Amino acid sequence: MLNIFDDLYQFSAYDPRYDLTCHQYLLLADEPLLVHTGNALHAEGLIPQLKRVLGGRAVRYVFFSHFESDECGGLPLILKHFPGARPVCSEVSSRELAGFGITDEFLVKRPWERLVAGGFELEFFAFPSEVHLRDGLIGYEARRGILFCGDLIFRSGRAHGAVIEADWQDVADRIEQAPDKEKWKELKKNLLRLRPRFVATGHGPCLKITG
Ligand SMILES: [Fe+2]
Ligand SMILES: [Fe+2]
What are the φ and ψ backbone dihedral angles of 88, each rounded to 5 degrees? -120, 120
For residue 160, give the nearest of 200, 208, 204 by alpha carbon: 204
Query: Tell me, what's the pLDDT at 133?
Result: 86
Q: How far apart are the CA of 142 and the centre of ligand 2, in A?
A: 22
pLDDT in tens, 108-127: 999 999 999 999 999 999 99
Mean pLDDT over each residue of the chain, to the nearest integer: 95
Q: How far apart are the CA of 141 and the centre of ligand 1, in A?
A: 20
Q: How far apart are the CA of 70 and the centre of ligand 2, in A?
A: 5
Pairwise CA distance, residues 187 & 116, whole Å: 22
Report, as an integer, the average pLDDT of 46-66: 98
Please state the domain extents for the chain: 2-209
Q: How far apart are the CA of 151 and the centre of ligand 1, in A?
A: 5
Domain 2-209 -> CATH class: alpha beta
For residue 127, give the nearest of 153, 108, 146 by alpha carbon: 153
Q: How far apart are the CA of 125 and the centre of ligand 1, in A?
A: 16
Q: How far apart are the CA of 56 and the centre of ligand 1, in A?
A: 30
